[in-house]
Amino acid sequence: MMIKSVSVSPFDDQKPGTSGLRKSVVVFQQPHYLECFVQAIFNSVPGLAGNTLVLGGDGRYHNAEAIQTILRMAAAHGIKKVLVGQYGLLSTPAASAVIRKYQAAGGIILSASHNPGGPDGDFGIKFNSANGGPAVESLTEAMYANSQQLTEYQIIESEPVDINEQGPSQLGEMQIEVIDPVSDYSELMASLFDFDAIRQMFRKGFRIRFDAMHAITGPYAREILERELGAEAGSVINAVPKTDFGGGHPDPNLAHAKELVTEMYSAHAPDMGAASDGDGDRNMILGQHFFVTPSDSLAVLAANATLVPGYASGLAGVARSMPTSQAVDQVAKELGIACYETPTGWKFFGNLMDGGHITLCGEESFGTGSDHVREKDGLWAVLFWLNILAVEGDSIKQIVQQHWSRFGRNYYTRHDYEAVDAERASELMLRLEGKLEYLIGTAPNGLHITAADNFAYTDPVDGSISHKQGLRILFADGARIIYRLSGTGTQGATLRIYVEVYEQAASKQEQDTQQALAPYIQLALELAQVPTYTAMNKPTVIT
C-alpha cells in the first residue's frame, strides 16, 4: 500500500489540556483536523515506529471514524502492531493496563471523559506514554509546537478495517490485533481484590446498583460485578454504551446521576450505589441515604488499604491534587507515610508512582486510583469499597462515620459555574490574584486569613515546576478557599470554587455540609465578586 502525503495548513487551536485535546464533534469533523493532531503525536513521540501502539476509546460519537483514520496513519508511520479494543472500545484505565501489560510504546485514547456525547457533543484524543499514563507536559507542549508547524500528514489509502471481530489482521506492513476490551482489565482486578470474599457477601444478599450511564464501563461492570462476582442480574443499569450516552451527561455526580441518587435515597435502596463516567476513570460512591465525597473516599481507602490483598503490605505514600480536601492528609499523618499535594492532572501522580513515592492517589473531581495503572480508575474504586465492606461487615455510612470519629471530618464542597464567558472568568481570576497579598493578615467577616497565593508545584521526581495552579486563601482555623478555571470543558470557562473546613469534635460532625461551610462560601463569593463576573446567582453544580 502506498503512503499518501496530504498538504495542510496548521490549526491554531490544537493545544492539549490536562487530559489531551478536547473540542466539539463539529470541530473534529473539519477536514484534516484529527489527522493534523495525530500527525503531531507521531512527530513528537520518539520510538513509536517499529513498536506496539494501543488504540481505543469510550465509544462516543465519531469514535469509530477516528479509529479508522488513526489505524491508516499508524500504518503510514511504521508502527509494527496496534492492539485495538473490539468495536474500538477501551476504557481509559483499561487502556493504561493494556499498555503496561504488553509493554507497548504508548496508546491513543479517544475520549472527552465526562463531557456529553453525540453529534452536538464533545470529542477528545490524548496520548498515553509507555508507563500507561497521560503524556507529561513537556511532551504535550511538543505536540502543540509541532501542530503549529505542520505542512502535511501521511496516511495510507485502504478499506475500513474490521474491528468488530477479535483476532489478527494486517494493514499494509502493520499487524492489527483486535482484543477483548475487558479481559486484561478483569484479570488485573482479580489480582488485587479478594473476589471470593466479595462473592460470599453477594451470596448473603448484599445488593449493589451500578450506573454505567450508557458509557464505556457498562461491559466491564456487567462482566465483573454480575458474571464474576455474582451480583444479581440487573445490578448494572444503563449498561449499553451509546454514542450519545443515551442523551445524558456521563458525569457521576449528584446532579447528573439522578436515577441512581433517587434510588439510593429511597425506602428500598440497595446497600451500595456506584457510578462511573464516559471513559470509566471517575467514580461516585453512595450508601443508603448517604453520599461519600470523593475526598472522603480516598481517605477511607487509604486508611483501610491493608484489608485488601493487593495493598496488604501497606502504602508507600499517598497524593492528592491541591483542590482536593485534606482528609487523606490526616490518614497519612497517623500512618506515618508521605502525602504529596500536586496540581490537578493525573500526569503528576504518574511521576510519583514511577518514582516509587506513592501507592494511592485521588482528585476531588470523582477520580481515585493507585499504582496498578497510571490513570484514575472508576470500577477499581468500586471494587476496593466492596472488598472493605466484605471484610468489615458494616454499612458504607457506618464506615465513613467511624473514619470521621478517628481522623476528624473535613467538611468540603465544590461549586461549579459552567459556561462562563471566558474573558470575564479570566478577569475575575486576575483581579482576585492581584488582591491576594493584601488579604493576608486581614479578617473579613471575622474569618482570619493567614496566607494567600497562586499554587506552584515542584515535582520531586524530575524537578519540573508548574506555576499558577489555582488561587488559595488559607485561614487561621485551617479552612481553605480555592479558585480554579477548569480545562476540561469545551464551551466558555468553568469557574470552580472549593471550600473546606476541618472539624475534629465528634459532636459537630453531623452538620449539613453547606450549612457548616456557609460563612466561607459567602466570603468566597464576596472576595471574587462571583455573581458580577459570572452573571449567575447560583452555581450550575454543587458537589
> What's the distance, Cα to Cα, between the start and end of the chain in Å?
53
φ/ψ bin of 397: left (φ > 0), alpha (ψ from -120 to 50), beta (otherwise): alpha
Which residues, 6+ apart, have CB-to-CB distance to 458 below 8 Å? 464, 465
Dihedral angle computed from the Cα positions of residues 32, 17, 365 and 426, in that order, rounded to the nearest 10 degrees = -120
- Global pTM reads 0.95
Q: Which residues make beta-bridge pairs with 471?
A: 454, 483
Mean pLDDT of the chain: 96
Q: Which residues make beta-bridge pairs with 486?
A: 494
pLDDT for 487? 58
Give the H or E element holding residue 175. strand 174-179
pLDDT in tens, 121-140: 999 999 999 999 999 888 99
Q: Which residues make beta-bridge pairs with 171?
A: 174
Which residues, 6+ apart, have CB-to-CB distance to 97 below 8 Å? 132, 184, 185, 188, 372, 373
158 catalytically annotated: no
> Residue 431, Cβ neighbours under 10 Å: how many?
13
pLDDT for 345? 85
Give the H or E element holding residue 429. helix 422-439
pLDDT for 489? 54
Tell me if residue 263 falls in helix, strand or coil. Answer: helix
Which own/partner contact pairs does 162-167 have at CB distance under 8 Å and 24+ positions apart? 163/67, 163/84, 163/85, 163/86, 163/87, 163/88, 164/86, 164/87, 165/86, 166/86
Question: In this structure, are residues 88 and 82 in contact, taking their beta carbons and an 8 Å threshold?
Answer: no
pLDDT < 70 positions in the chain: 487-491
pLDDT for 488? 55
* HSE of 278, CA atoms in CB hemisphere, 13 A: 29
pLDDT in tens, 480-491: 999 999 855 556
Q: Is 3 exposed, middle or buried (0-12, 13-18, 19+ CB in 10 A)?
A: middle
pLDDT for 424? 96
From 109, 337, 309, select the one nearest 196 (Cα to Cα): 309
Domains of the chain: 3-180 (3.40.120.10), 185-407 (3.40.120.10), 409-542 (3.30.310.50)
pLDDT for 492? 84
Catalytic residue, chosen from 113, 147, 321, 365, is 113
Measure the CA–CA gap between 440 and 421, rounded to whole angstroms: 29
Measure the CA–CA gap between 222 and 212, rounded to whole angstroms: 9
H-type helices in 477-542, by residue range? Answer: 513-516, 518-528, 530-534
Q: How distant is the alpha carbon of residue 9 from its chain centre?
A: 33
Question: In this structure, are residues 372 and 310 in contact, taking their beta carbons and an 8 Å threshold?
Answer: yes
